[in-house]
């Protein structure tokens, strides 16, 4: 969806009705370089969900959020310009239940040295694969922190 911030302190609000146990990726992309501030605010009207990852202020022309909806409800995304705010166009995209990392060696996500990734198992049959570079004799330790 495309939008326009006409003046500082302008805001646009979008909503998306979701079913329980849905993961949503929201991305805000600017049409041109910034000349002020622009924020993306994401939340559920029911309060029944978890904001998993969030880059509120637009950095390098993009802001994004990952939100997990734990019940039926409405997710809102607000594009908000500050006092010395950005004016101009933007694109707001939502993707419901995206696959964050590939399921095959060819589509695996790269894990760098001492790397940390945050990932989600989106469906019961989801598989997330990662690749990394190692040398002979190198010891590699993997840890995971699973959220219920």
36 pLDDT more than 60: yes
What mean pLDDT do residues 104-108 have?
84
User: Which positions ≥6 away from 59 have C-beta within 8 Å?
Assistant: none
Q: What is the pLDDT of residue 59?
A: 62
Cα 54 to the chain's mean position, in Å?
6
What mean pLDDT do residues 74-98 have?
84
Q: What is the pLDDT of residue 35?
A: 64
pLDDT single digits (tens) 112-134: 777 777 777 767 778 888 888 88
Q: pTM above the 0.85 mark? A: no
Report the alpha-carbon distance of residue 54 to residue 51 in Å, rounded.
Answer: 7
49 pLDDT more than 80: no
């Amino acid at each position: 969806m495309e939008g326009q911030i006409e003046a500082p302190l302008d805001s646009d609000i979008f909503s998306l009705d979701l079913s329980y146990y849905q993961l949503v990726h929201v991305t805000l992309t600017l049409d041109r370089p910034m000349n002020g501030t622009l924020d993306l605010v994401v939340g559920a009207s029911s309060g029944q969900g978890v904001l998993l990852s969030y880059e509120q202020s637009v950095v390098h022309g993009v802001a994004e959020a990952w939100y997990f909806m734990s019940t039926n409800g409405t997710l809102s995304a607000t594009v908000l310009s500050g006092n010395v705010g950005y004016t101009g166009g933007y694109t707001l995209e939502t993707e419901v239940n995206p696959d964050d990392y590939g399921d095959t060696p060819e589509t695996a996500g790269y894990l760098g040295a001492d790397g940390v990734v945050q990932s989600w198992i989106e469906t019961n049959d989801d598989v997330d694969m990662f690749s990394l570079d190692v040398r002979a004799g190198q010891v590699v330790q993997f840890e995971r922190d699973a959220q219920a």
